[in-house]
Structure 1
Amino acid sequence: MSHSMQQPQPPHGGPQQTPQWGGPQQDPQWGGGPSHRADPPANNSRPKTALVLGIIALIVGLIPFVFWIGGILGLIALIVGLSGRSKYGRAANPVGAILGGAGMVFAVVGAVITLQIMSDAVDELDRSVNDASSSVESDSGSLDTDGKKGKGKKGKGKGKGKGGDKGKGGGASGLAAGDTAAYDDDLKVTVSAAKAYTPSEYASGHTPGNKAYQVTVAIENAGQENFDSTLVLADARAGADGVTAEQIFDDKVGAGFDGTILPGKKSTVTYAFDAPADAKELTVEVTPGFSHDAAIWELTL
């Protein structure tokens, strides 16, 4: 009598599995295979970098003159923080990006502070320069009220005062030939009468058909300090229309003042000017320096 071996049948409705020899048997699970869960990133460096840059941006952004560094660092921190957030999701800390944005705001505040500091410094510098200029002008650059020889009325009496036009003596007609303009620092300037002058063959500044005239300018330093005559300027206008009288330069005239005039000493220079042939008057203006008012002489030709 033969016996056939029969394998046990699985429960009705269940899947049939063939046992595998040598391996572990796993019970079947309904609804699919084993579940998977994403692990947090092992190296989360971007949020950390953004955090460090954001902190530095907050500190540097409020420092005047270097605020722009904080703004750049804040922008980098914001970009790095947002990129880390997009890559790692909620596992990335958003504090770095937030600090980066705050650092940019602080940089704007630092820029405002810097501009205010610079504005205050410029205003203070302007006040200092104005005070210094006013002090120099009041102490040495104004003409003394007793600085002119008496010649009558209309500015030809006792001196050119501070209240008149710049360099015009006490009145509108200016100084006459031989008059002296005296300054508060005891500097005295005198202009002689105009005389005809013959330019040399190679003179510059003379126009054929015009007439040349020479005047002598004398500067006396009656004060207690040295006077630098290098900055002395002499200009002229000719005729009723006041056309510019060009200064003539040749081997005799045109060199101008040069060097230092010591206290108690005097320096004299001859200038020559080119005037129209029909000019009847020559107006000469002499400015001793930047800190002195100009004085004007009206000379008859």
Structure 2
Amino acid sequence: MPVPPGEQNPVAQEPADRDPWGPPQAGPAASHWHPYPAPMPQARNGMGVTALVLGIIGVVLGLAVVLFWVSWLPALLAVVFGFVGLSHARKGLATNRAMALAGVILGGAGLLISAGVGVFAAVVVKKTADDVRAKAVEVKESAAAEDEKKKAEEKARHLSFGQSYTFGNGLKVTVAELQPFTPDDYVFGHAKGNKAVEVTVTVVNTGTERVSVETGLPSVNDAKGASAELVIDGSGRQKVITGYVLPGKEMVGKYAFSLPPDAADKAEVEFSPDAKRWPDAYWSGPTS
């Protein structure tokens, strides 16, 4: 049976007249083999990319005033990695020279920004500290001045009998030297053996408008600091200051107080035309 064409294995036919003992015939020329080209080394672009990223981070952190103190590190690393990337590019090991150069530039800019912001922050902090110190000194001096003013006002309100003190409402008050007072037979607030004294208070309106006297009754302390009793009798000699004092006019009040024998040599009189608005002034001195 004939062999199918696909399964035929043709055999080279030799010429019938070929000498079997002769040299073999030359066959077809052998084809030449071409080797594959050697693979190119992979580009080392990591340094340039890292330098660019770190440079951007350094600039951004430098512009953020509160983070400038950490921006110098990524900026410095960007410069270092950028120079390494440029070196690789010069040697042909990297293809992103522009990226590495941008990283160096951004890193340098980040360092400059960090230094500039640091100087600016130092100046601002120093100015703020100076302002705070100056404000503290000003407050201290103001408090000291206010304290001195209060002391001066307090001292001005302590007078001797016969001197005058002008209150903020324009009323000028004078307490005269104390005089002996003899109560009549019908008296309240005076014990037998005590010393009764008369207190005379003169109020003059130095302003241009009438002023009301809200508290026209003085208080008296004896030499031991104890409050003396107000003496009330039927003589009608006591007179309480009350009502309005017209501009340029004066009102005179007369009061009697009883002092114990062992503390009757000195007394202090307190008086204010309006105790709710003006603190008391004090007059002191001997009772005779």
**TM-score normalised to structure 2 length:** 0.44
Structure of higher CA gyration radius = 2
Bigger fraction of residues in helix: 2
**TM-score normalised to structure 1 length:** 0.42
